[in-house]
Amino acid sequence: MKNFLFVISLFLITAIVLSGCATVRSAGRLVTDEDYLERYSTLVSAVQVGQRETVNAKNCVVLGFTDINTQIGLANLAMQAEVARTEAYAATVRDFFDGPATDPQTGEPVINPETGKTMTHNEQIAFAQKQLAQQLAAYNDASGNPLPPEQIDLAKLANQGAMPFQLALNVNVVALTYTQAPLPPANFTPVENAQRVTTEKTNMIFACAKTANDAVSVYNIERAKVTGEIAAKLAEILHLSDLPQTLSYFELQGPTSPPVVPTFGAP
């Protein structure tokens, strides 16, 4: 009888130990990196799509801006030839680009945030190009090489003001200035072509920014479903600095009233 009780006791102890080991193993599976990635695969996918679309939109901005600059270069050659022919037009161009830049929506002077002074059109273009160069540097590694999409840190891009829509805004400054430049009373096809291409490529750039916006929207929706602790763990697994609560959207403040259309009298 004692031997029977001993065998029963030994069996129960063994069963409890094995059950405990299985529980430990089961619990261990819940905290592995693979389990995190699988459980929150929708958010992980949103992060990866956001990284990819952010890079795609950045490339779209760069390619569009390259086309704009090419056409502007051709237009400038034509403008120089025309300027050599007519000094009167040269004076008009100088007055425009050396004159104060104004916001096309409000009509208010454009202020340089670094100096607090009103900028000319030339200064506004130079400042926008400087900002764009700084923004594009955020997409490169320390050696100046483009980062692969999986290494793009969206939180850092947002903090540095280098999201695609912010790149597009600086390109838009250059585009607006050249499309608003006064045309001479002559057949200036290269300039007109540059303005047409500039408009087309600017529209393309903002379409790319819209695609990046869609990816940001998906990310924000999925990110709102998890706690900060889980987001921090996923960021660690993905080798990112953070998975921010939200990423900013590209938005434009629309006018509150229709623009005033000037009237012209016959001479």
Q: Give the tens place of pLDDT for each residue, 146-182.
A: 999 999 999 999 999 999 988 988 888 888 887 777 7
Residue 105, domain extent: 40-237
The widest CA-to-CA distance across the chain, in whole angstroms, is 126
160 φ/ψ angles, rounded to the nearest 5 degrees: -90, 0
C-alpha distances in angstroms, 93 versus 39, 114, 121? 61, 26, 11
Contact indicator for 193, 70 with CB cutoff of 8 Å: no
Contact indicator for 230, 39 with CB cutoff of 8 Å: no
On whether residue 103 sits in a domain, the answer given is yes
On whether residue 128 sits in a domain, the answer given is yes
pTM assigned to the model: 0.66
Question: Is the pLDDT confidence value at 21 over 60?
Answer: no
On whether residue 66 sits in a domain, the answer given is yes
Q: How many domains does the chain have?
A: 1
On whether residue 185 sits in a domain, the answer given is yes
On whether residue 187 sits in a domain, the answer given is yes
Cα torsion 41, 46, 47, 53 to 10°: value is: 140
On whether residue 261 sits in a domain, the answer given is no
pLDDT, position 30: 44
Question: Is the pLDDT confidence value at 218 over 70?
Answer: yes
Residues in contact with 161: Cβ distance below 8 Å, sequence separation at least 6, in sequence order: 135
On whether residue 246 sits in a domain, the answer given is no
On whether residue 7 sits in a domain, the answer given is no
